[in-house]
C-alpha cells in the first residue's frame, strides 16, 4: 500500500473536518490526523495520512500533496484559498496541489463537492492519488 501525507487547508469554517470525517477517516486521538484508505480504478491501494489547517504558513516539506477548500457562499474564503494555492505553487514545485479551490491560474483540477451532503467527496482524493502515483 502506497502511503502519502496530505494537508487539507482552507479558511476557518469551510468544512475541512466534515470532509475528512465524511470519507470515514479514522482519527488519531493523540493528534488531529485522519487515516483514509482508497483503492484506485487500477486496483492500487493508497493510504492518505491527512492533517487539516486554516493557517497559510505551511511547512510544505512535511506533505506529499494538498487539498485546498473554500466555501462557495463565502467570497473571503475563496480569496484566502487562492492565496494558499499561490503560496503552495511557489513553495513546492513538483508537489501536487489538488484543488477543490483550484483556479485556472494555478492549472489544478477544480471539484464541486458537498461534505455536508456527502456528494463527490472522494473525487479530489482519487485524483490526487492518480497524480501522485504517476
Q: Write out the three cell numbers for 50.
A: 491527512
Give me the tens of pLDDT residue by residue for the chain, a chain 134 residues long: 889 888 898 999 888 888 888 887 666 667 678 888 887 777 778 899 998 888 767 777 788 888 888 888 888 988 888 888 777 777 666 555 554 444 445 556 778 888 888 888 888 888 888 777 77
Q: What is the pTM of this model?
A: 0.80
Helix (H) or strand (E) holding 21: helix 16-22
In the chain, which ranges are E strands?
Answer: 2-10, 26-28, 33-39, 45-53, 65-69, 96-99
DSSP of 79-93: HHHHHHHHHHHHH-T
| Sign for the pseudo-dihedral over CA of 33, 102, 86, 130 | positive
What structural domains and CATH numbers belong to the chain?
A: 2-133 (3.40.50.300)
Amino acid at each position: 500500500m502506497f502511503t502519502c501525507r496530505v494537508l487539507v487547508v482552507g479558511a476557518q469554517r469551510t468544512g475541512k473536518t466534515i470532509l475528512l470525517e465524511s470519507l470515514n477517516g479514522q482519527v488519531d486521538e493523540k493528534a488531529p490526523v485522519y487515516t483514509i484508505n482508497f483503492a484506485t480504478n487500477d486496483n492500487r491501494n493508497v493510504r492518505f495520512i491527512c492533517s487539516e489547517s486554516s493557517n497559510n504558513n505551511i511547512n510544505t516539506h512535511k506533505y506529499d500533496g494538498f487539498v485546498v477548500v473554500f466555501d462557495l457562499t463565502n467570497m473571503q474564503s475563496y480569496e484566502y484559498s487562492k492565496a494558499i494555492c499561490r503560496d503552495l505553487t511557489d513553495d513546492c514545485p513538483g508537489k501536487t496541489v489538488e484543488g477543490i479551490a483550484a483556479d485556472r491560474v494555478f492549472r489544478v483540477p477544480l471539484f464541486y463537492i458537498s461534505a455536508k451532503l456527502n456528494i463527490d467527496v472522494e473525487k479530489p482524493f482519487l485524483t490526487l492519488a492518480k497524480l501522485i502515483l504517476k
